[in-house]
């Protein structure tokens, strides 16, 4: 089948590639409709690796997807041909200790679309396990269905934060994931969420949402801003979603005593963490790696209308324009949040 293939660092091609389409008893075959361009896809394109995950051979990109069921396996009961669906792209070993503990996202043997050496889904058809395929409600578009995957990261972060209704939060970084985290925190019960960044265009997009308060750290001292807004107490929760090493400097200044910091962004290099400041406030620290047991709830929130992700889709490309979509994503246009490709 034709697919968008990352041949090697900085080299993409649209070409035919052999991909398996045999449907097992618990699988479904899906016609892909929409695929989001994720920051990890772009990082593999521009750098050829993310930490220990190195592109050593041609790999099909894409993991944020929606589509239509074309065929079901003999044991599939939850789906039928013609169903509109989205897919949770990480499939664990269901017999692993991680899966039995409910933390299948950290199963060492998980296979995740477009993570070397696993091919992704930027191709007209895929075969995928029915257990990780979710039917889209009638009021959820294919474009929104392809947004469930990145929103699930926000859901995982909000879940790990253990939000109490009325909490206040700060999200550091107004990229796609940062905004998703802010929306998930609001949906989880936060009364207001501050979001900081250096780019006014991204802050303006985040600021469209009621309850999200943008802060440009070129123009405002973030520590002073948070102190003034919280009577020198600090926010209940800080979400670090930028991945920038600079974000860790003074990060414990923003959170209240006994509060929580959730690390969502993944720095490329090791960073220093001020454990003394964390201990002095007894700050609870949580980490996020993908998500587990939240995909269906993320979809339910979108379907309910309580979370509107449509304003975050800032560009749509045809499949034959996939390379142009990735080139645009790699250019880091400040007005872009989420680009999508339709097949």
pLDDT, tens digit, 9 for 90 and up, residues 14-48: 999 999 999 999 999 999 999 999 999 999 999 99
Does one domain contain both 117 and 200?
no
The better pLDDT of the pair 237, 270 is held by 237
Is residue 53 in some structural domain? Answer: yes
Q: Are 300 and 278 in contact (CB under 8 A)?
A: no
154-209 per-position pLDDT tens digit: 999 999 999 999 999 999 999 999 999 999 999 999 999 999 999 999 999 999 99
Domain count within the chain: 2
Tell me what percent of the residues of the chain surpass a pLDDT of 70.
Answer: 100
Is residue 297 in some structural domain? Answer: no
Is residue 19 in some structural domain? Answer: yes
The range of the structural domain enclosing residue 262 comes to 154-287
The arithmetic mean of pLDDT across residues 62-89, rounded, is 98
The arithmetic mean of pLDDT across residues 244-265, rounded, is 96
Does one domain contain both 238 and 127?
no
Q: Are 11 and 330 in contact (CB under 8 A)?
A: no
Tell me what percent of the residues of the chain surpass a pLDDT of 90.
Answer: 97
Does one domain contain both 243 and 336?
no
The better pLDDT of the pair 267, 114 is held by 114
Is residue 302 in some structural domain? Answer: no
Is residue 205 in some structural domain? Answer: yes
Does one domain contain both 158 and 255?
yes
Task: Tell me phi and psi for residue 22, to 5 degrees.
Answer: -75, 125
User: Using alpha carbons only, what angle is made at residue 141 by residues 139 and 142, rounded to the nearest 5 degrees?
Assistant: 145
Is residue 32 in some structural domain? Answer: yes
pLDDT of residue 50: 87
Does one domain contain both 163 and 27?
no
Cis ω for the linkage preceding 192 (within 30 of 0): no
Q: Are 37 and 341 in contact (CB under 8 A)?
A: yes
Does one domain contain both 7 and 114?
yes
Q: Are 37 and 325 in contact (CB under 8 A)?
A: yes
Q: Are 214 and 195 in contact (CB under 8 A)?
A: yes
Determine the Cα–Cα distance for residues 341 and 294; give it in Å rounded to an integer.
Answer: 24
Number of neighbouring beta carbons within 10 Å of residue 313 = 19
Does one domain contain both 174 and 278?
yes
Does one domain contain both 133 and 29?
yes
At residue 51 the predicted structure's pLDDT band, cuts being 50, 70 and 90, is confident
Is residue 301 in some structural domain? Answer: no
Does one domain contain both 138 and 192?
no
Query: What's this model's pTM, rounded to 2 decimal places?
Result: 0.95
Does one domain contain both 137 and 9?
yes
pLDDT of residue 268: 78
Is residue 299 in some structural domain? Answer: no
Task: Say yes or no to pLDDT of 138 above 90.
Answer: yes
> How confident is the prediction for the chain on average, in pLDDT?
96
Task: Say yes or no to pLDDT of 267 above 90.
Answer: no
Domain harbouring 261, CATH code: 3.40.50.720
Does one domain contain both 32 and 138?
yes
Please, which residues have CB within 8 angstroms of residue 308's CB and are 6 or more apart in sequence?
none
Domain harbouring 65, CATH code: 3.90.180.10
């Amino acid at each position: 089948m034709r697919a968008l293939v990352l041949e090697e660092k900085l080299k993409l091609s649209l070409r035919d590639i052999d991909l398996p389409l045999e449907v097992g008893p618990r699988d479904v075959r899906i016609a892909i409709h929409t695929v989001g361009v994720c920051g990890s896809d772009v990082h593999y394109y521009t750098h050829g690796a993310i930490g220990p995950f190195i592109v050593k051979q041609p790999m099909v990109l894409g993991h944020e997807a929606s589509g239509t069921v074309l065929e079901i396996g003999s044991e599939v009961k939850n789906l039928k041909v013609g169903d509109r669906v989205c897919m949770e792209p990480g499939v664990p070993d269901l017999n692993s200790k991680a899966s039995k503990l409910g933390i299948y996202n950290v199963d060492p043997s998980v296979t995740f679309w477009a993570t070397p050496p696993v091919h992704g889904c930027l191709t007209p058809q895929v075969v995928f396990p029915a257990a990780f395929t979710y039917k889209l409600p009638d009021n959820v578009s294919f474009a929104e269905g392809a947004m469930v995957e990145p929103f699930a990261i926000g859901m995982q972060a909000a879940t790990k934060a253990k939000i109490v209704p009325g909490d206040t939060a700060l999200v550091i970084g107004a990229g796609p994931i940062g905004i998703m985290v802010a929306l998930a925190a609001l949906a989880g019960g936060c009364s207001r969420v501050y979001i900081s960044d250096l780019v006014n265009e991204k802050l303006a997009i985040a600021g469209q949402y009621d309850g999200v308060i943008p802060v440009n750290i070129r123009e405002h001292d973030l520590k002073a801003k948070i102190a003034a807004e919280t009577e020198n107490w600090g926010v209940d929760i800080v979400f670090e979603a930028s991945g920038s090493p600079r974000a860790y400097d003074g990060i414990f200044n923003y959170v209240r005593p006994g509060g929580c910091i959730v690390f969502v962004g993944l720095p490329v290099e090791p960073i220093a963490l001020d454990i003394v400041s964390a201990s002095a406030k007894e700050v609870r620290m949580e980490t996020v790696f993908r998500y587990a047991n939240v995909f269906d709830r993320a979809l339910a929130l979108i379907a309910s209308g309580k979370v509107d992700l449509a304003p975050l889709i800032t560009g749509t490309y045809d499949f034959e324009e996939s390379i142009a979509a990735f080139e645009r994503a790699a250019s880091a246009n400040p007005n872009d949040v989420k680009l999508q490709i339709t097949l």
